[in-house]
Copies of this chain bind each other. A is one copy, B any other.
């Protein structure tokens, strides 16, 4: 793995202390997360307890060539990310004011514990939005609910994710 993409740890606090959640989300979860760039994910909006991502259909995201549907793994990926960003911002509100060391320590432990996806309808569409909302936020584990809609507002899939946040 190239280390060029790694963010020096002393930069974390600067980001964490910024007041623009959109900028933070884009920096950490798009610019610094190669696979999210590969999928073409964009941050639509960030609120206190929920966030929204978007991506456009592309031929290399197809999973079922017979019907032109997005791959179930693309759905799982964006829903995992949507829940993760929501969990991250619920964590962030807790760590504000903490020492640099504490913040860096907690962020290094951040990760998905488990993920469940329900594929409700065929993954058809030109563009897709994924929302992540926090259902519970504890000192160690956050739980998020996620939804994927296409550009016509059709609910295609839902997800639940448990995230380690401390």
Q: Which residues of B contact A152 (CB under 8 A)?
A: none
Residues in A119-161 with C-beta less than 8 Å from chain B: 119-122, 135-136, 140-141, 143, 145, 155, 158, 160
- Determine whether A95 belongs to the interface, using a CB cutoff of 8 Å to chain B: no
Residue of B nearest to A126 (CB): B1
Residue of B nearest to A57 (CB): B1
Q: A126 → chain B, closest Cβ, in Å?
A: 9
Residues in A32-71 with C-beta less than 8 Å from chain B: 32-39, 57, 59-68, 70-71
- The size class of the interface chain A forms with chain B is 35 or more
- Given contact pairs A34-B65, A34-B71, A145-B158, enumerate 10 new A-B contacts (beta carbons under 8 Å): A2-B59, A35-B60, A36-B71, A72-B115, A76-B117, A114-B118, A114-B143, A116-B160, A118-B160, A135-B158
Give 20 pairs: A residue, B residue, CB < 8 Å, sorted on A. Answer: A1-B57, A1-B62, A5-B59, A33-B64, A34-B71, A35-B71, A35-B74, A37-B60, A67-B108, A71-B77, A76-B117, A114-B116, A114-B119, A114-B160, A115-B116, A118-B143, A120-B135, A120-B136, A120-B143, A145-B158
